[in-house]
A = this chain, B = another copy of it.
Amino acid sequence: MPIDDITATLPLVDHHCHGLFPADLDDERLADSLSEAFAPAPPGTSHWDKPVALSVRRRCAPVLDLEPFCAPAAYAERRRAIGAVAVNRRFLAASGIGTYIVDSGNRPEELCSVSEVGAIAGAPAREIVRMESVAERVAESGMSAGGFARAFEAALRGSLGEGVGGLKSILAYRATLRIDYGKPSDAEVETAAGRWLAEIEETGTVRLTDPVLERHLIWTGADIARERGFPIQFHIGIGDPDIELHRVDPSHLTPWIKAVEPWGFPITLLHCYPFHREAGLMAENFPQVYFDVGFALNWMGPSYQRIMDEALELVPFTKQLFSTDAFGLAELYYMGALRFRTALARALGRWVEDDECSVAEAERIAAMIGVENARRIYKV
C-alpha cells in the first residue's frame, strides 16, 4: 500500500464529538460557530478570518459544489440552498467515520440527538453522559441538600441506557483541574449541595462549579466506570473563554489518576493542546490513561501537521485516540477526519522515508490510533 493511503479507508472511531445542527444557519450563526469566543468579532474584523474558517473555505466548499476559497457569504448561501439535512448527510458520508461516540450533554437543545447522528451517518453511534449536565438537571428538579448525593447517583445510573459507552467530566471548565482530589465525605457533599441549591434559588442560574461537588461527581463516576469497565473522559486544555489555561494542564489530575489506577477503567484526556506533550507522557506513565488532539487538528486549519507530529513523540501507539470534537457544523466531522488521516499518514510516511519505520509497522500503528484503541476501551 502506498504510504499516503494507509489511513484512507480506516473506519475511524470518533471517540469524542457532539450532535449536529439540525436546521439551516443564517450568516451570523454560521460565523459564530467558527469562533470559540462568546462575542462577535471586533469592529473591522470577521470570524471568517481565522485558520479553521480558511480551511472550511478550502476543504468544505468543494463538498458543497463550490470553488475553493469562495466568499463566506456565498458559502453560507449555498449551505442553505442545499439544506441542513442534505449538508449533514454529505459531510458525514464524506468523513468515512465508522463509529461515533457522542457527548450528549452540551447545549442539547441546539443539536440533534445521538441516535440522529447515527441515522444521518448510517453508522453506529454511542453516547457519553456528561456528569455535570446530570447533576444540574437533578439540582433543577427540586432537591434537598441532604438528598443530592443519592439523587445524583440515581440519575446518573438512570441515564446509562444501552447505547452509553462512558462518562465525561468538564471539571476543567468548572472547578478547574487545580483542586484537591480526595473523595469528599457525605457531610461535605451535603454542605456544598446546600450552598449550591441556595445559590440557584437566589440567582436562577444552574451551573455546577463547586470543587466539592465536582469531586463527588468524579468519584461517583469512578465507581460506575469501575463496575462497567468503560472510560471517563476529561476535558483538558484548549476551550472557550471559561478556561484559564494554567488551570487545565492535565498533570494536575495526577493524584486522582494514581488513586483510581487500581480500579482499571480507562481515563481519556480530550483535546489537550497546548498540553499534548504532558498528556502523552501521562499516557506513557499510567496504564489506564489515553489521549487525543482532535479539536486542535480541526481548529488550526492549515497548521494541523505539527500537532500530530508532537502528539506522536512519546505516547505508546496503543494509547492515542482519534476524535473530531465536532460541534454542530457537519463540516467539522468531515474536516476532522480529513486532517487526522492526512496528518497521521504523513507523519508515519516521514518515519518510513527516514528509515525509522516499515510500511507494515506504519499500517499497524495507524490502525491502532485510528480505530483499534478506541474499539478496545469503548468496546465498540
Contact = CB atoms under 8 A, between A and B. Distances in A.
Nearest to A368: B49
Interface in A230-261: 238, 240-241, 243-247, 249, 251-252, 254-255, 258, 261
Contacts of A243: 254, 285
Nearest to A247: B251
Interface in A254-292: 254-255, 258, 261, 273-274, 277-278, 281-282, 284-288
A306 interface: yes
Interface in A296-341: 296, 299-303, 306-307, 309-310, 312-319
B40 A287 contact: yes
A358 interface: yes
Contact of A241 (B45, B286, B356, B365): B286
A33 to B, nearest CB: 14
Nearest to A278: B245
Contacts of A40: 287
Contacts of A316: 41, 45, 47, 49-50
B244 A287 contact: no
A50 to B, nearest CB: 4
Contact of A361 (B69, B255, B285, B357): B69
B300 A306 contact: no
Contacts of A284: 35-37, 50
Contact of A312 (B303, B307, B317, B354): B303
A249 B245 contact: yes
A54 B357 contact: yes
A318 B42 contact: yes
Given A251-B246, A357-B58, A309 B314 contact: no
B354 A302 contact: yes
Contact of A254 (B45, B54, B244, B309): B244
A37 B287 contact: yes
A40 B316 CA distance: 13
Nearest to A305: B354
A39 interface: yes
Contacts of A55: 356
A248 to B, nearest CB: 9
Given A55-B356, A246-B251, 17 more contacts: A36-B284, A41-B316, A42-B287, A45-B318, A46-B318, A49-B317, A58-B355, A244-B255, A245-B281, A245-B282, A246-B278, A274-B278, A300-B313, A300-B314, A302-B351, A302-B354, A302-B356
25 contacts: A36-B281, A36-B284, A37-B287, A41-B318, A42-B287, A42-B318, A45-B318, A49-B316, A49-B318, A50-B316, A50-B318, A68-B358, A238-B314, A241-B285, A241-B286, A243-B285, A245-B278, A245-B282, A246-B252, A274-B277, A299-B314, A300-B314, A303-B312, A303-B313, A306-B313
